[in-house]
A = this chain, B = another copy of it.
Amino acid sequence: LKLLTLARDLRRRKAREKQSLFSAEGVRTVEELLRSPLRVRGALFTNRLSDTPRGSELHTALQQQGIELLEVSDEEFVTAAETESPQGILAIAEIPDTTLDTLRLAERVRLVVLDGVQDPGNAGTITRTAAALGATALIAMPGTVDLWNAKVVRSGMGASFHMPVLAAGWAELASFTQAHSVSVWGADAAGVPLESVRAPARLALVVGNEGAGLSAEARQSADTLVALPIGSTVESLNVAVATGILLYQLRS
């Protein structure tokens, strides 16, 4: 029953940070986890996992990799799961030991910095988008949802298993960007039009909270504020959509 207790515990951010472990829920997420370099500690499953051929195959794959498995009842399972319809599978894996200092920087750098992004779905979609568009890493600043929250991991579709994701403070980010000549741009409706500025080779793009936008710290950190020109009937773009457009535009 140790795995069940552990999985329940890992629903708390503090426990994830202390143990350096997280939960991956759902067939697709666990499949991606097995394809990734991350170390899997064990998995909980219910008999519903074998309801689909894909679920059965995943069960076999977990067994073949010698991963500790515990079958639990549906009632026990829901006490450990965080996402909706977790499909009877939850794996526990090690959070990679990634910090700003361990990041490997190429000539071209694109960091995505989340400033108080609170919705797990948005954070997950940004993770997926950042990985798809070749971001160097994703950095969660204070006030942002934990990137190892099960809902974020799941809506990230496994992107966080391949791209470095980490949390940092503003002072830490500032020393890092200065030391490595990384320009910091903030996305803000009052900024200069994106088309009017040229992206530097090394860039950190800060995107703000869903309602409040950029924090005072983010504005202070940014060398430049850039805006996407949008029509007047809509107040703003969704933060994941805005991040996608900006990253795409700034890709070269």
B residues near A162, Cβ cutoff 8 Å: 233-234
User: Across the interface, do A233 and B159 meet the contact criterion of CB distance under 8 Å?
Assistant: yes
User: Which parts of A153-171 form the interface with B (CB within 8 Å)?
Assistant: 157-159, 162-163
Count of residues in A whose CB is under 8 Å from the partner chain: 30
B residues near A125, Cβ cutoff 8 Å: 238, 240-241
B residues near A249, Cβ cutoff 8 Å: 248
Nearest Cβ in chain B — how far from A89, in angstroms? 18
Contacting A244 at CB < 8 Å: which of B159, B231, B244?
A: B244
Determine whether A134 belongs to the interface, using a CB cutoff of 8 Å to chain B.
yes
Determine whether A121 belongs to the interface, using a CB cutoff of 8 Å to chain B.
yes
A119 to B, closest residue via Cβ: B121
Nearest Cβ in chain B — how far from A233, in angstroms? 4
A134 to B, closest residue via Cβ: B231
B residues near A133, Cβ cutoff 8 Å: 230-231
- Given A121-B121, A125-B238, A238-B125, also A131-B244 (CB < 8 A): no
User: Across the interface, do B128 and A234 meet the contact criterion of CB distance under 8 Å?
Assistant: yes
What 0/1 pattern do residues 161 to 183 of A give for CB contact below 8 A with B? 01100000000000000000000
Q: Which of A133, A231, A238 has the most CB of B within 10 A?
A: A238
Determine whether A6 belongs to the interface, using a CB cutoff of 8 Å to chain B.
no
B residues near A131, Cβ cutoff 8 Å: 231, 233-234
A sample of 28 cross-chain residue pairs with beta-carbon separation below 8 angstroms, ordered by A number, consists of: A125-B241, A128-B234, A128-B241, A129-B241, A131-B233, A131-B234, A132-B231, A132-B234, A133-B231, A134-B231, A157-B234, A157-B235, A158-B234, A159-B233, A159-B234, A163-B233, A228-B248, A237-B244, A238-B244, A240-B240, A240-B241, A241-B241, A241-B243, A242-B244, A244-B244, A244-B245, A245-B248, A248-B249
